Amino acid sequence: MRVAYITSYNSEEVKHWSGSGFYIAEALKNQGIELLRIHCIVKHSFIQRLKRKLNKILFNKVLLLEREPSYLKSLAKKANQLLFNQEYDIVFSPGSLPITYLKTDKPIAFMTDSTYDGLINLYMQDQSLTKQSIINGNKAEAIALQKASLAFYTSEWAIENAVNKYNIDKSKVRKSSFGPNLSNGFSEKKIRELVGERADNKVKNLLFVGVEWRRKGARKAIETVAALIEKGHNVTLTLVGCKIPEGEVLPSFVKYYPFISKETIEGRQILDKLFQQASFFILPTEADCTPIVFSEAASYGLPVITTNTGGCPAVVLDKISGYCFQPETFKENAVEIIENLINDQRLYERISVNAYYRFCNELNWNVIGKQLLESLEPLVEKR
């Protein structure tokens, strides 16, 4: 099978879209699929950028240029040019935008973590989007979903939104997770050894990895650990990736690392060490689709303590591989459950090993690649 793999960036670089476009391509390649990489790198025009600036200055409104029809049509034009006279069996894109206005007689599939409507409702409630961006974005999403033979989403939350908002038949959608963008290759024996060591450690370390301080809930993570210390527990917090707000003073129990790039060997080694040394992974996120870092935590057998928002429960199975709490009561619930896990070694070990099994069975790129291949092959065979 030869797949035209269309992106709006260089899919051979791991720095785009948290590395997902790169790793999805690798997952397909590892299943024996030949990739025809189509990099539709199109800059926003001066007129588009001017419109965005004027909307912000004059009306304090956000104009999303990547949802503008003129930009999407430019992407499609570039893709059609690159596909001209090329042999391929099917089009696949990590995201719906590059295929919105694509002209092809071959089947089309895409994979993403949310619909446009889902993104607006989850992330942009505190932003003032232009009416034009809301209309254009929903129109583009509807066109892409109608055009696609299959749409892969990473959670039931995203699937339900696609079906209900855009009136898509459920037979056109599939659930497929994101794997980790940090690989360790640990065996079950190694994970059980790590889990045993963590359970015996007198000091329990909670690991937080996230770029956005407010949205990812860094302050709430600090407050949770402070509450555990007040109750007499010997715990610390490792904070990775986010920029500390001006005027914020970190408590002595917090060890801070600025952004660590997975593109470098040194960065991957540091993150690997931090995941191995942690007892829990904590992310009190206010809004998220399906954080890739949850798959990474699972690969290390780390119980995840997070919120029941967006697609998070699709990755972290509540009371099985971790815990998902309502954002409003996160601190109280998290303190209680972490206390239980500290005091009950058998419970801690069970949740930790379950997290690793979750990684083995669903949250790794080999399994994901096989799922994609099994779904794409029938589309090609029908032709």
Give residue-wise pLDDT tens across range 47-69.
899 999 999 999 999 999 999 99
Query: What are the extents of the domains in the chain?
Result: 2-179+364-381, 188-361
Task: Assign 185 a pLDDT band (cuts: 50, 70, 90).
Answer: confident
Digit-coded pLDDT (tens) for 31-50: 999 999 999 999 998 989 99
Say which residue, 108 or 15, is predicted with more confidence: 108
Q: What is the mean pLDDT of residues 282-292?
A: 96
CB 308 within 8 A of CB 326: yes
Percent of the chain surpassing pLDDT 90 = 93
CA distance 5 to 93: 6
CA distances from residue 328 to 115, 211, 287, 306 in whole angstroms, order as listed:
25, 21, 13, 12
Check whether 253 has a pLDDT greater than 70. Answer: yes
pLDDT per residue as tens digits for the range 128-155: 899 999 999 999 999 999 999 999 999 9
- Mean residue pLDDT across the chain: 95
pLDDT category, 359, cuts 50, 70, 90? very high
pLDDT, one tens digit per residue, over 298-335 is 999 999 999 999 999 999 999 999 999 999 999 999 99
Q: How far is CA 16 from CA 7, 9, 20, 72, in A?
A: 10, 7, 7, 18
Q: Is the pLDDT of residue 125 over 80?
A: no
The answer to whether 148 touches 99, Cβ cutoff 8 Å, is yes
Residue 17's pLDDT is 87
Q: What pLDDT, on the 0 to 100 scale, is given for residue 183?
A: 81
Judge contact between 299 and 364, C-beta under 8 A. Answer: yes
pLDDT in tens, 86-113: 999 999 999 999 999 999 999 999 999 9
Chain-centre distance of CA 267, in angstroms? 19
Pick one of 3.40.50.2000, 3.40.50.800, 1.10.1660.10, 1.10.260.40 as the CATH number of 2-179+364-381: 3.40.50.2000
Say what the pLDDT of residue 245 is.
95
Q: Would the pLDDT of 191 be above 80?
A: yes
Per CATH, 2-179+364-381 and 188-361 having the same topology is answered yes
Q: Model confidence at 124, in pLDDT bands (50, 70, 90)?
A: confident
**Mean pLDDT value of segment 180-195:** 93
Residue 17, Ramachandran bin (φ over 0: left; ψ between -120 and 50: alpha; else beta): left
pLDDT band for position 126 (50/70/90)?
low
Query: Does the structural domain 188-361 have CATH classification 3.20.20.70?
Result: no
Please tell me the predicted confidence (pLDDT) of residue 184: 85
Residue 383 has pLDDT above 80, yes or no: no
- CA dist 345 and 352 (Å) reads 10
